[in-house]
Structure 1
């Protein structure tokens, strides 16, 4: 009989004084005092005990030299992809990067030229735009359509933009951060059809691929078709799934051997070939032992999402959270307030005492929205929502 451990996601862990960017840097970065940090995308949940045990055992060895991914590591990543995503990948497809953002910058630098254009779908994770602008590439946006609170792709505009011969690369966010959409297979197939038609390389940031709620299913972009697999780079990591962001380990999956050689040349060029010793250890343990933790975590996060949605509906009806299908990031529409972006930002910091990601950072399409991190004990969310309600009552 298999005994399933029940994990306590209500447990509050004091992260102050741990050099946590989320907690120790919030007041300085946001310009407030004693803010509740519900911004940057890391969880306030302790990882499964098996990860901590694996790290402890590795630390006891007391030598931390240059490290490579072992055969066991590759096998467990392959097994995870096959089991969780029905994607049969090969060992040689798995390439290293310290993080997905690093990989995006390496790819834009190595796979495009000055004068090329990079397409993104806004509002979207800010490093997408930065990865293009950092390399002096021109940014092209294909804004998502907000259809009464549900986002969808504008395929007419997408084709128009991709048909420009200068657009050589598209960065796809799947599942989408911050709007929480899990793209359907049909939607992804349309993207693949257009990208193949206009010979555009698709770089799919699938870092949230494991964070999908019941009733929805993540399809790896490379599974859409043989052509999609052959003209794409898929960026994955255990970091969001298992709260390992600080251990700097990502798996960039590239089926096409020519694209893979080009990517690995970039990795060597910037001296990024060896993974973090403890990152490899933690990732292997996470994929091997973390599935039950993940399933329970998803259930808890969905409860948190429901709590915030219902709280706003009952107490602050001018604010509305977009229906969430995946990720642990809520996208709250504040446009009914009629405030400009700076007034909204200062109200949340100075009067509500909350550190949230401002929507305008995700592109002009995000103005009037805020992003909230739902991966925390519900007691913290309740405190934050109560502070928000009190701030509005005081303000009015």
Structure 2
């Protein structure tokens, strides 16, 4: 019913994924699979809502008003099983900005922030850029019953990290980018309990929370007890779900009044803001009218994931991957073929001519991996697989 096959030419538009791609040549011959936004056109209702804003012709200051909040509340009640209160909402321009704001407000210079690498690289960058200390609680890499990569949380290590005298915060990613895990309800609860026990503020990045590709539903921190979610800052946005990242809009939820007041008072003139005219209209249209579009999108992404893993699995029997439970990002392991991350990057870029977000940028445990963005028309992935396989046929490492 919906269009997931049109490939819009974004070359020359300043789009982050395409900014260094030359404009000449066939569009289908260009394969950037890096930055985590979609190549799909936005849902029809979203485009119509944005045209209506343009037609009104007035673009003044905007608030996260009651209809906006109600659209958010109803969406999360339907999709994730929790009901928000309007006081909890702290609008921001983006999740990364909110993460950095939380670090600046609640963590002093030199104090520690826990992350779980390999993880979304702005986590580490945001901590270090503000003079705070990274405390890494690496994910545990193992194998499942099918021999595929299986990641888990080192809870003993997390307990030890959280008990550190100057550790103030944990950045938690669910669904996890890049490994694709959707953490179980027990795992989410244990993380929250450890943070609460040691007075460590839990910041949960749930930006991919609507993109559930497996059978396990998301357990948002917002579904936990009042005590546990009262120690949390939960970050959500329509940006990944409906390809709205460029509209610069996110919704941060802080249940505890004191925590929220401190955050708002210290950051009100920096990053905390209402949604723009366009972001407000896009969110309300997406959350109010585009649920069927999302359901079809998830089916399409699942098909893309199965296609890529079938093609690559047949061509490269020693390659492995992490099953995709959430996000639209496939985490593939090439360590059987490459001794170091730099040679893998050169192969992908120079020989296969594909731009990835290289695994090494996700920190400890990421070297030797490639993250494939599956949110594009299938023929783009067909071309990418063709290129990878053709390049491998010329490379002795794959003999």
* TM-score range for the pair, normalised by the shorter chain length: over 0.9
- Runs of 4+ that moved beyond 3 A: none
Corresponding residue number in structure 2 for 1:290: 290
**2-structure distance, mates of 1:43, 1:68:** 27
Is it true that 1:108 corresponds to 2:108 in the alignment? no
Aligned residues between the structures? 386
Corresponding residue number in structure 1 for 2:370: 370
Corresponding residue number in structure 2 for 1:273: 273
Cα offset for 1:228?
1.3
Cα offset for 1:193?
1.8
SS at match of 2:235: strand
Corresponding residue number in structure 1 for 2:79: 84
SS at match of 2:176: coil
- Is the 1:309–1:320 Cα contact (8 Å) retained in structure 2? no
Corresponding residue number in structure 2 for 1:120: 115
Corresponding residue number in structure 2 for 1:253: 253
SS at match of 1:234: strand
Cα offset for 1:178?
0.2
Cα offset for 1:319?
2.1
Q: 1:207-356 counterparts in 2 under 5 A?
A: 207-270=207-270, 272-356=272-356
**2-structure distance, mates of 1:390, 1:262:** 56
Corresponding residue number in structure 1 for 2:6: 11
Cα offset for 1:26?
4.8
- Is the 1:332–1:369 Cα contact (8 Å) retained in structure 2? yes
**2-structure distance, mates of 1:308, 1:25:** 25
Cα offset for 1:17?
2.7
- Is the 1:359–1:368 Cα contact (8 Å) retained in structure 2? yes
**2-structure distance, mates of 1:167, 1:37:** 38
SS at match of 1:337: coil
Q: 1:184-199 counterparts in 2 under 5 A?
A: 184-199=184-199
SS at match of 1:299: helix
* Structure-2-length-normalised TM-score: 0.94
- Is the 1:42–1:245 Cα contact (8 Å) retained in structure 2? yes
- Is the 1:35–1:355 Cα contact (8 Å) retained in structure 2? no
**2-structure distance, mates of 1:334, 1:321:** 9
SS at match of 2:273: coil
Cα offset for 1:307?
0.7
Corresponding residue number in structure 1 for 2:26: none
SS at match of 2:390: helix
Structure 1 spans left out of the alignment, 5+ residues: 1-5, 29-33
**1-structure distance, mates of 2:22, 2:12:** 13
**1-structure distance, mates of 2:162, 2:209:** 25
**2-structure distance, mates of 1:337, 1:210:** 34
- Is the 2:318–2:336 Cα contact (8 Å) retained in structure 1? yes
Corresponding residue number in structure 2 for 1:31: none
SS at match of 2:72: helix
More deviation in 221-230 or 293-302? 221-230
**2-structure distance, mates of 1:394, 1:146:** 31
**1-structure distance, mates of 2:10, 2:110:** 45
Structure 2 spans left out of the alignment, 5+ residues: 24-28, 144-148
**2-structure distance, mates of 1:283, 1:361:** 31
Cα offset for 1:209?
0.4
The CA RMSD measured in Å over matched residues stands at 1.4
**2-structure distance, mates of 1:26, 1:204:** 34
